[in-house]
């Protein structure tokens, strides 16, 4: 995933010293007596684009230590294996088809002329189909703080006038920062620790933390590149700084480390130009890359279907209602009428790639593909050290967090806490 928001360095430095309370501020250090007996907090950490096999590269001693004294697994993302859909799944327990965030980019007939993108995503309209954990927590009296998480800057449940202006109503975490890629990982960790230096009355009990550098390196250089391994090592060191800081504070924590998806290598040589497959006069291609989606020109449906539908070398195309059931995708009205999915490592672009296109990496492929597997580690006083668990779907993470926070189990979710029950201390089972 790539977010592009930037803040000038001087403003950033000032923000990092301020108290973070909605709408926008920052965590303020407070002196806490070292003799205080602290209750455990729950910290949900996302390392965007971190494949579980990255740990085999020998550069993750801190993550390995958490896994060795807790639990770990290769987690299956939800389809599509994109950033915003899966981050929303992780905190709602609903697959993208049901949580409303069906892709990193989407349209809705109720917002004509408006496109949801990762940069244009603040309207609660897009998010209101599924309640995130921090809203559930706040309503249950559990103070929450999010140091970046897709959707956490949105006034969930709020409304705008036709998608314009500031929302009215809605719930945010008590403390939150708007995403800024320029904030280094070390400062993100420092922000979390500063929140936890507060007096007990204003200290969050549920926190999120987000790192994007592994994903960025994977996109730019590919998953197997030394630059990606260096990014893995760096974020591991930042996790180590967090663990060390918690120890210094005397703050016990149930830490859940996840990724939203994995990463697959790509090449311009493995690219299909969709304008050579179907006549561009018959369609508007909405998305491109690991999958492609199409809106037909009215009256041109037959021609488009004749060109697209069925199995092709390196990709398959379906009407949205006929997308394979195992993908759990295709009922939400925000999904375009026609959908094509590429073989892992291939790209479905609108046109032929530029002559100077370089190899790199991406995600969005079949969620069962090994390259799309996501990191999962959990460690803390509520977690028994049971080692490696069988693979599970990421819809099960939100029920686990509910258990750790003693929140209600939740109704009509797509996942449950079954993969973790044997590893949970009895007092944390719903």
Domains along the chain with CATH numbers = 11-265+367-428 (3.40.720.10), 268-357 (3.30.1360.180)
Residue 293 in contact with residue 285, Cβ under 8 Å?
A: yes
Using alpha carbons, list the distances in angstroms from residue 50 to 83, 211, 234: 12, 10, 12
Active site residue 271: no
Residue 342 in contact with residue 290, Cβ under 8 Å?
A: yes
For 157-164, which contacts have Cβ atoms below 8 Å and span 24 or more sequence positions?
157/124, 157/128, 157/131, 158/124, 159/124, 159/125, 160/123, 160/124, 160/125, 163/111, 163/114, 163/123, 163/125
Residue 256 in contact with residue 378, Cβ under 8 Å?
A: yes
d(CA 402, CA 265): 35
415: number of Cβ within 10 Å: 23
| Pairing relationship of beta strands 175-177 and 206-211 according to DSSP bridges | unpaired
Nearest to 404 by CA among 260, 259, 256: 256
Using alpha carbons, list the distances in angstroms from residue 280 to 89, 286, 291, 295: 34, 12, 17, 11
Supply 325's token pair: 């059931």
Q: How many helices (H) and strands (E) does the chain have?
A: 10, 22
pTM: 0.92
Nearest to 176 by CA among 135, 217, 216, 214: 135
Residue 236 phi/psi, 5-degree rounding, is -60, -40
Residue 85 in contact with residue 399, Cβ under 8 Å?
A: no
d(CA 248, CA 36): 12
d(CA 1, CA 50): 11
pLDDT for the residue 20: 44
DSSP strand E in 309-381: where?
A: 310-312, 315-319, 338-342, 347-349, 360-362, 374-379
Residue 168 in contact with residue 99, Cβ under 8 Å?
A: no
Residues of the chain with pLDDT under 50: 2-33
pLDDT digit string (tens) for 353-398?
A: 998 888 999 999 999 999 999 999 999 999 999 999 999 999 999 9
pLDDT for the residue 121: 87
Nearest to 329 by CA among 151, 103, 87, 128: 103
pLDDT for the residue 324: 98
DSSP characters for 235-296?
Answer: HHHHHHHHHHHHHHHT--EEEEEE-S---EEE-GGGEEEGGGTS-GGGEEEEE-BSEEEEEE
pLDDT for the residue 36: 82
The single residue of 83, 146, 213, 344 carrying the catalytic annotation is 83
d(CA 351, CA 366): 22
pLDDT for the residue 2: 44
pLDDT for the residue 387: 97
């Amino acid at each position: 995933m790539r977010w592009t928001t930037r803040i000038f360095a001087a403003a950033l430095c000032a923000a990092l010293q301020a108290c973070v309370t909605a709408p926008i501020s920052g965590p303020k250090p407070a002196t806490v007596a070292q003799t205080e007996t602290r209750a455990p907090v729950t910290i949900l950490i996302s390392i965007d684009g971190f494949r579980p096999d990255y740990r085999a590269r020998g550069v993750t001693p801190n993550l390995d230590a958490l896994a060795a004294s807790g639990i770990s697994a290769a987690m299956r993302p939800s389809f599509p294996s994109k950033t915003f859909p899966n981050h929303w799944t992780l905190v709602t327990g609903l697959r993208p088809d049901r949580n409303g965030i069906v892709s990193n980019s989407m349209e809705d007939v109720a917002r004509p002329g408006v496109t949801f993108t990762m940069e244009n995503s603040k309207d609660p309209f897009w998010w209101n189909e599924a309640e995130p954990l921090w809203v559930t927590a706040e309503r249950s009296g559990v103070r929450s703080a999010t140091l970046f998480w897709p959707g956490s800057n949105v006034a969930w449940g709020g409304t705008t006038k036709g998608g314009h202006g500031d929302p009215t109503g809605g719930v945010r975490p008590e403390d939150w920062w708007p995403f800024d890629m320029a904030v280094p990982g070390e400062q993100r960790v420092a922000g979390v620790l500063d929140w936890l230096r507060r007096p007990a009355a204003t200290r969050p009990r549920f926190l999120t933390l987000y790192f994007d550098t592994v994903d960025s390196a994977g996109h730019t250089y590919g998953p197997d590149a030394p630059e990606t391994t260096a990014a893995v090592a760096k974020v591991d060191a930042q996790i180590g700084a967090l663990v060390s800081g918690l120890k210094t504070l005397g703050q016990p924590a149930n830490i859940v480390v996840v990724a939203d998806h994995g990463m697959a290598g790509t090449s311009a040589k493995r690219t299909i130009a969709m304008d050579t497959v179907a006549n561009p006069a018959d369609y508007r291609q909405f998305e491109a890359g690991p999958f492609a989606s199409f809106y037909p020109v009215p009256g041109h449906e037959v021609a488009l279907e004749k060109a697209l539908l069925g199995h092709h070398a390196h990709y398959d195309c379906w009407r949205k209602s006929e997308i394979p059931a195992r993908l759990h995708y295709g009922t939400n009205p925000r999904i375009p009428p026609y959908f094509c999915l590429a073989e892992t490592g291939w790209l479905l672009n609108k046109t032929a790639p530029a002559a100077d296109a370089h190899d790199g990496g991406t995600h969005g492929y079949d969620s069962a593909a090994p390259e799309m597997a996501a990191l999962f580690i959990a460690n803390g006083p509520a977690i028994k050290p049971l080692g490696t668990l069988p693979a599970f779907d990421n819809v099960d993470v939100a029920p686990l967090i509910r258990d750790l926070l003693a929140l209600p189990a939740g109704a009509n979710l797509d996942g449950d806490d079954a993969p973790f029950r044997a590893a949970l201390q009895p007092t944390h089972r719903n």
